[in-house]
Structure 1
Amino acid sequence: MSIKRYGIEGGTGTGGQHLPFSSAVEAGGWLYVSGQTPMLHGEVVEGGIVEQSRLAIQNCLNIMKQAGYGLEHVVHVKVFLTDARYFQSFNKVFREVFGEHPPARVCCLADLVVDCKVEVDVTCYNAARVNG
């Protein structure tokens, strides 16, 4: 089984810092997308939980697409919220994105290392890519 790393050059975090990890890693048909926050070009996009949730999820989807995976391949999502009051609003965005076929999920409260409201990571599986 081979392991393929996406974005190994690392992304750009707040303040222009180099991020020393892959944006995703693929192994045996599985794709593990690193936690994504509502950032564009290394800066957190201001806004409420709905806007930040949409962008964090979209950042995951963009990485998945680059690796050749789609929504139909998502099997598990981890969500980190900074405030329990965001739970219902996040669920509305989650439902908009994943529709009638939602993946398994965990959602917890956490202090995040960047000043935002949400972080999301995604695990995907595509049997057609097992030997890829």
Structure 2
Amino acid sequence: MKKIDTKKAPAAIGPYCQGIVIDQLFFSSGQIPLTPEGELVNGSIEEQTHQVFSNLKAVLEEAGASLETVIKATVFIKDMNTFAAFNEVYGEYFNEHKPARSCVEVARLPKDVLVEIEVIASVQ
């Protein structure tokens, strides 16, 4: 197993790492809309989703993967009423390549953010 740690994404805010590579698979921890410096991106679901994808791209790159190698995304969203706006942004990042996805509404997310995404990807 290889632990993934990059300064291009926010540090873990608990006893976990940004992700793990085992065999040819990368498993990310859930990414929330924190900047690499640890600042919370307050704002709309769209703004928060863009920051989450920035973080995902950074940890994927550190792992030797990319958005194009994502196999499965799991999305946690605070309010399913914002799903259409979220999905517009999501589609900007996954337009040609469309991994499997689950999306669930949750009562609360860390730091009261609107969205959290974790991915599983193939490592090249």
Q: TM-score, normalised by structure 2?
A: 0.89
Answering whether residue 71 of structure 2 is matched by residue 79 of structure 1, we say no
The one-letter amino acid of 2:17's match is S
The corresponding residue for 1:37 is 32
Partner of residue 120 from structure 2, selected from 108, 112, 123: 123
Deviation at 1:100, TM superposition (A): 1.8
Q: Which runs of 5+ in 2 are unaligned?
A: none
Aligned sequence identity (%): 33
The one-letter amino acid of 2:29's match is S
Answering whether residue 22 of structure 2 is matched by residue 27 of structure 1, we say yes
Partner of residue 90 from structure 1, selected from 86, 90, 96: 86
> Is this contact kept in 2: 1:44–1:115, CA < 8 A?
no
Where 2:30 maps in the other structure, the secondary structure is: strand
Q: Which runs of 5+ in 1 are unaligned?
A: 14-18
Q: TM-score, normalised by structure 1?
A: 0.84
Cα distance between partner residues in 1 of 2:39 and 2:105 = 22
- Count how many residue pairs are aligned between Structure 1 and Structure 2: 119
Cα distance between partner residues in 1 of 2:41 and 2:110 = 15
Cα distance between partner residues in 2 of 1:38 and 1:26 = 23
Deviation at 1:72, TM superposition (A): 1.8
Where 1:60 maps in the other structure, the secondary structure is: helix
1:63-102 deviations in Å (ceiling 9; x for gaps): 1011111122100001000001111011111111011221
